[in-house]
Amino acid sequence: MKNLLLSFSVLSVFLFFPSCIKEPEPPRAVIMVYKLDQNGVKWPVGNCEVRIEITGGTSQPELIEYASKAKLTGHDGQVEYDFKYEGIVYVKAQKGDGKESCGRGVLILKEGQVCYEEIRLSACE
């Protein structure tokens, strides 16, 4: 009877313990693109292209895919990205043909966290 109780206890630990371990959430990013008016008030910029920039070699398919296709901000000036891994990623935003207004930002991605980045558009250099 003791052996049966002991084996049931061990078995229940192995069956229920893995369900208690929670995988950390993958990193996410919310990017807000805005312009300043003459009074210093932030205005969201809709329909603005946001693109991940790859600076050096990467083997992460998601970054290559994000870099090849720009996402457009909504009317609220925001765009969201879901990532698989932690890291530091550069972001570029541009409105119009790219000479009109653009801006850059940096995302510091950590597991289980949402990275919020604001990019101010100004005249391109």
Task: Tell me the domain boundaries of the chain.
Answer: 24-120
Low pLDDT (below 50) residues in the chain: none
Q: SS3 for 88? A: strand
Give me the CATH code for the 24-120 domain, please: 2.60.40.1120
pTM above 0.85, yes or no: no
| Contact indicator for 49, 94 with CB cutoff of 8 Å | yes
| Contact indicator for 119, 75 with CB cutoff of 8 Å | no
- Report the C-alpha gap between 121 and 83 in whole angstroms: 24
Query: Per-residue pLDDT tens for 91-123?
Result: 999 998 756 799 999 999 999 999 999 999 988
Q: SS3 for 73? A: coil
| Contact indicator for 83, 29 with CB cutoff of 8 Å | yes
Residue 102: per-residue pLDDT: 92
Q: How many CB atoms lie within 10 A of CB 122?
A: 11
Compute CA distances 107 → 8, 91, 94, whole Å. Answer: 48, 7, 17
